[in-house]
């Protein structure tokens, strides 16, 4: 192929299969966001402080004041009961960070720059959520160390404990897609942060995370038992061996089959909100 004098020929990017291109582009975007986290360490640091504060405050302020069936008012028993809830709350709160990050990229026009490149459309969002997953995993490691220091233990062995943390990361990844949709739907990072947190507090507190649902009004018990957050918390308690002896398990199907329910809820959330987020991304950048 020849070109006119004075005009430099350019080569179009070689076409690749859709799945291969999507994976490659997603990893490139994920790397970009991880490098950004390293260069702005205060983002990671502040993300670690809040869950550590929750562990300490709930363990020593509420420990011994809340009765857990099978453990009574035992402070150590409440810590065992509590930690699965704190772990789950931490991974779901990554939603706000994901939403704010995407909203910031939209606000600065970075998304439009990505759109001008020959890359898979969903890769920008997938790469961002994968980077957030890495940050969430780091937060869980730090949180686990703090939990061990205050007396929490996993009693069912390393394989089951690893499975529990896998469920937590899957739930966190699912919720970052909700954050991605929120970030694409608002105009500023501040609005994305508020929008990412305002619904998380009732979701996490109307659950089995901090108190047994049997102490709630009947209609709230039903909500708590079918809450996807509660399913993951219950699954982690079983896998960690943190359910007190004689703890009453509600008759609701998710509480009777928490591991399966947690998997199904997380997969459903990923499928639904990834589809909506990618669709919103395409329309938002046209």
Tokens of 88: 């789950």
What are the backbone angles phi and psi of residue 72, rounded to the nearest 5°? 65, -140
User: By 3-state DSSP, what share of the chain in percent is helix, strand and coil, each rounded to 5?
Assistant: 70, 0, 25
Kindly give, in sequence order, each residue whose CB lies less than 8 Å from that of residue 259, ignoring residues fewer than 6 positions away. 163, 167, 235, 238, 239
In a 13 Å sphere around the CA of 2, the CA atoms on its Cβ side amount to 2
Own/partner long-range contacts of 269-276 (Cβ < 8 Å, ≥24 apart): 269/174, 269/175, 269/177, 269/178, 269/228, 270/173, 270/174, 270/177, 273/174, 273/177, 273/178, 273/180, 273/181, 274/122, 274/125, 274/126, 274/177, 276/181
Model pLDDT, residue 65: 66
Closest CA to 139 of 91, 83, 106: 91
Give the whole-angstrom CA distance, residue 277 versus residue 70.
43
Torsion region of 217: left, alpha or beta (phi above 0 gives left; psi -120 to 50 gives alpha): beta
Closest CA to 179 of 84, 120, 100, 118: 100
Model pLDDT, residue 3: 45
Give the whole-angstrom CA distance, residue 41 versus residue 88.
23
Model pLDDT, residue 1: 44
CA 205 to chain centroid: 16
pTM value is 0.85
Q: Identify the residue whose tokens are 């363990």.
A: 59
Model pLDDT, residue 163: 96
Residue ranges of domains in the chain = 19-63+70-284
Q: Show pLDDT as tens, one digit a residue, over the chain (286 residues).
A: 444 444 444 444 443 446 877 888 888 888 888 887 777 777 777 777 878 888 888 777 776 666 676 555 566 677 888 889 999 998 998 888 788 888 888 777 777 777 777 777 778 888 889 988 998 998 899 899 988 888 888 888 999 999 999 999 999 999 999 999 998 888 788 888 888 788 888 999 999 988 888 888 999 999 999 999 999 999 999 999 998 887 888 889 999 999 999 999 999 999 999 999 988 887 765 4
Give the whole-angstrom CA distance, residue 257 versus residue 169.
19
């Amino acid at each position: 192929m020849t070109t006119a004098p004075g005009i430099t020929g350019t080569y179009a990017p070689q076409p690749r299969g859709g799945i291969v291109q999507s994976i490659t582009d997603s990893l490139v975007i994920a790397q970009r966001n991880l490098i950004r986290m390293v260069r702005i360490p205060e983002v990671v640091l502040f993300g670690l402080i809040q869950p550590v504060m929750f562990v300490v405050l709930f363990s020593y302020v509420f420990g011994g004041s809340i009765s857990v069936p099978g453990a009574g008012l035992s402070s150590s028993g409440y810590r065992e009961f509590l930690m699965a809830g704190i772990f789950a709350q931490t991974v779901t709160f990554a939603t706000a960070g994901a939403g704010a990050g995407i909203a910031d990229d939209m606000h600065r026009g970075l998304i439009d720059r990505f759109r001008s490149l020959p890359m898979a459309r969903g890769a920008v969002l997938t790469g961002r959520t994968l980077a957030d997953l890495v940050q969430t995993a780091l937060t869980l490691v730090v949180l686990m160390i703090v939990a061990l220091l205050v007396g929490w233990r996993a009693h069912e062995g390393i394989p089951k404990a690893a499975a529990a943390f896998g469920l937590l990361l899957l739930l966190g990844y699912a919720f970052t897609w909700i954050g991605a949709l929120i970030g694409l739907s608002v105009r500023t990072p501040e609005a994305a942060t508020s929008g990412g947190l305002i619904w998380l507090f009732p979701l996490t507190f109307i659950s089995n995370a901090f108190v047994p649902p049997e102490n709630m009004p009947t209609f709230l018990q039903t909500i708590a038992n079918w809450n996807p957050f509660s399913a993951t918390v219950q699954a982690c308690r079983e896998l960690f061996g943190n359910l007190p002896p004689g703890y009453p398990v509600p008759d609701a199907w998710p509480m009777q089959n928490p591991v399966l329910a947690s998997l199904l809820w997380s997969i459903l959330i990923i499928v639904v909100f990834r589809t909506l987020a990618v669709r919103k991304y395409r329309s938002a950048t046209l």
